[in-house]
Amino acid sequence: MDLSGIRRESEYRWVIEPSGPMRVPAVLYADDALIRDMDDKVRQQVCNVASLPGIVGAAYAMPDAHWGYGFPIGGVAAFDAGQGGVVSAGGVGFDISCGVRALLTGLQREEILKVQQALAHELSRAIPAGVGSTGRLRLSSDEMDAMLTRGARWAVERGYGSVADLPHIEEEGCIAHAKPGAISQRARQRQRDEMGTLGSGNHYLEVQWVAEVFDPKIAAGFGLTAGEVVVSIHCGSRGLGHQIGTDYLRDMALAAPSFGIHLPDRELACAPISSELGQQYLGAMRAAMNCALANRQILTHLCRDAFRRILAGSELGLLYDVSHNICKVEEHEVGGVKRRLHVHRKGATRAFGPGHAAVPEAFRSFGQPVLIGGSMGTASYVLAGAASGEALALSSACHGAGRSMSRHQATKQWHGRQLVDELEARGILIRSPSLRGVAEEAPGAYKSVERVVDVAERAGLAHKVVRLEPLICIKG
């Protein structure tokens, strides 16, 4: 990235002061190496976000930021409806409510190693993955509406997990004010057979173990111990979310002139929060969030069944589930005043600190669990939200390592079969229906997750709790 015109405010905080159409500063969190390696499109995109109507405070880029559609991936911005603030479909993304769910197994690494091959086979058989993958559910129109309205609660009511899971899910598994009627028939049709599926791209179900504990007290509070096995599930709202993004980006781009909105980039298509179009999008997006929460709940049930078939009597409890492609109404203090804001996080994770009312009571004294996924073959992390993150970036943190090269570039450099063999030699079993998909998600195609997480902690965005290493990865 060209650093001219960027002021280094502290070791890990870089500021671009408003100029031209920018209404607020742009703030990037990175160390020297990460900011140099960010492409210039990140700078351009975060400045474009800072130009949108009704933006509050600043436009932020997390340490894993890279070029995305409209917003940079790793972008965070909040808007005030009372000041003409907008909601942007590009600021949420196509994979609405893509997120991570972590499950506690109570098992030790040695127990998994004894059955590693059998468990990898059983999980790959049980978890539908890949482009166009379909599940065993076929939703009627009424069931679709119920799922879109009640989210993970709908899934639990139909036998996928238990009510004990719900307090450990963002918004207790159900996003209020969803509007299934704001979703097109095409979006509904795409989702009809896709519940309980991983999908493709960077989505995965991974069996991991706690390789390092940074904060024993918080780790114990989260139920994590050294050597324990954890399962992470990373996926979103599948075809439904993608179609909602496609539909509303088109509608918002066409309607922008009627709202008097000049778009610095068509990909930033948006609508005033208070407009009918803005409200329709928010209702559709919230329904997609419920879809993603229900999807991860069904996958949890399938994963638990697979574990029981291989390890009789095993019980997988839910640590936490949090989304990272969303727009949510939250209260934040800006300029010493509490304000009700619409916070966009695209490829960024909510990271509320200790004492926040939205954090489950079991974790409230520690801060919200922040689940950071690595890439296939690399480490993942569990962090805790930090109180300092509120003022720094609206209680937000990175969501992963962030890509350092495109999928197309990755397939030129790596071959799927070679990667599968190399990772197995390291004790990591990869199961995927697509060797090309494996090549696209090569560990080397991503930034160093260790560096990204270290910057997030040192900048005060979140606090490291444990590092997880992979044993089995089911890839789309």
Active site residues: 399
- Buried b / exposed e over 90-125, threshold 16 CB at 10 Å, is bbbbbbbbbbbbbbbbebebeebeeebeebbbbbbe
Q: Which two tokens stand for residue 189?
A: 């049709």
**Contact 406/348 with Cβ under 8 angstroms?**
no
Q: At what angle do helices 276-310 and 141-150 cross, to 10 degrees?
A: 90
**Contact 131/434 with Cβ under 8 angstroms?**
yes
The three-state secondary structure class of 253 is: helix
The C-alpha R_g of the chain, in whole angstroms, comes to 21
Report the distance separating Cα 106 and Cα 317, nearest Å: 8
CB-CB neighbours of 319 under 10 Å: 21
User: CA distances (Å), 354 to each of 46, 53, 374, 384, 462, in order?
Assistant: 29, 32, 25, 9, 11
Report the distance separating Cα 450 and Cα 33, nearest Å: 13
**Contact 438/373 with Cβ under 8 angstroms?**
no
Report the distance separating Cα 284 and Cα 248, nearest Å: 9
Cite the beta strand spans of 294-352 per DSSP E. Answer: 317-323, 325-334, 337-346, 348-350
